[in-house]
Amino acid sequence: MTLPSWQNKVDGDRRVGSMVRAALWLLTEVGEGSIFTKAELRSAFPDVAQIDRRIRDLRDRGWRIDTSRDDPSLKQEEQRFVSRGAEVWIPGQAKAPKHKNSLTAAQRQKVFEADSYLCRSCGIAAGEEYEDDLTQSVLNIARRKVLLADGSEEYQFVTECKRCGSGSADREVNLGAVLELVENLSPMERRILAGWVAADQRTPEPIDKMWGLYRTLPEEARKAVTSALEGDDVPGGAGN
């Protein structure tokens, strides 16, 4: 299929909006996987005052366009056209998906409370400092695609910190696969997992702590632990 020209403001009897023209420019002039600058974008559309916003509008329609926040290898003035989304030049395809509707303050608060004010990607709490620097976390509400057990898809709200939210537009979870794993658990494993779910946290078992301590030991000390595990006083050990 031949694409319309990004330079045409009119296609037949239909006016072509700047968002559609920006999409066509990305496809035909930039190309998927390539980098463009804000200066190049504005030079191509000198008559469009808010062309940067039209690029952001494309992200709402499934287009992946990374900035330096998403990809640290990019300079501040650069963006990378990663992949195309909806074919917005086709009538009816330019409408933003319903899952992009904004939440009210009460709805946002409800999501935060349900997620215990924790980022559901890395587990950091609101205002907590990241381990690798002194930056404090800021929590937002994200919309995550969930693949349901019946094969359908829906977007569900989840709490996510600003750092994890950068570049997470394609993140999705397969609920059907998770439920299948639950079905395969033994009764004991189910009880343990149910306890973690009820507490919304996992308390390490003594053997988990032992493993963590063992991993910190030097080689000779590890050999001593290995010998102890194989000793006569250990059930099932070498001396039994």
- The answer to whether residue 55 sits within a structural domain is yes
Q: Report yes or no: 124 and 118 within 8 Å, Cβ to Cβ.
A: yes
Higher pLDDT, 181 or 1: 181
Q: What is the pLDDT of residues 53-90, one digit of tens each?
A: 899 889 888 899 988 877 778 888 999 999 998 899 88
Query: Residue 14: beta bridge partners?
Result: 11
In a domain, 104, yes or no: yes
Q: How many domains does the chain have?
A: 3
Under 8 Å CB-to-CB from 135, ≥6 apart: which residues? 129, 163
Same domain for 104 and 92, yes or no, is no
Q: In this structure, are 42 and 75 located in the same domain?
A: yes
Q: Which two tokens stand for residue 196?
A: 């973690």
Taking residue 163's Cβ as centre, other Cβ atoms within 10 Å add up to 16
* Chain segment 146-203, per-residue pLDDT in tens: 888 888 888 888 999 888 876 555 578 899 899 999 999 999 999 989 988 888 888 7
Indicate if 77 and 145 belong to the same structural domain: no
Q: How far apart, in whole angstroms, are the C-alpha atoms of residue 72 and residue 208? A: 36
Bridge partners for 154 per DSSP:
146
Instruction: Tell me how far apart the alpha carbons of residues 185 and 130 are, in angstroms, rounded to a whole number.
Output: 34
Residue 130 in this model has a pLDDT that exceeds 60: yes
Q: Which residue has the higher pLDDT, 3 or 78?
A: 78
Residue 188 placed within a domain: no
**Segments forming the whole domain that contains residue 232:** 204-240
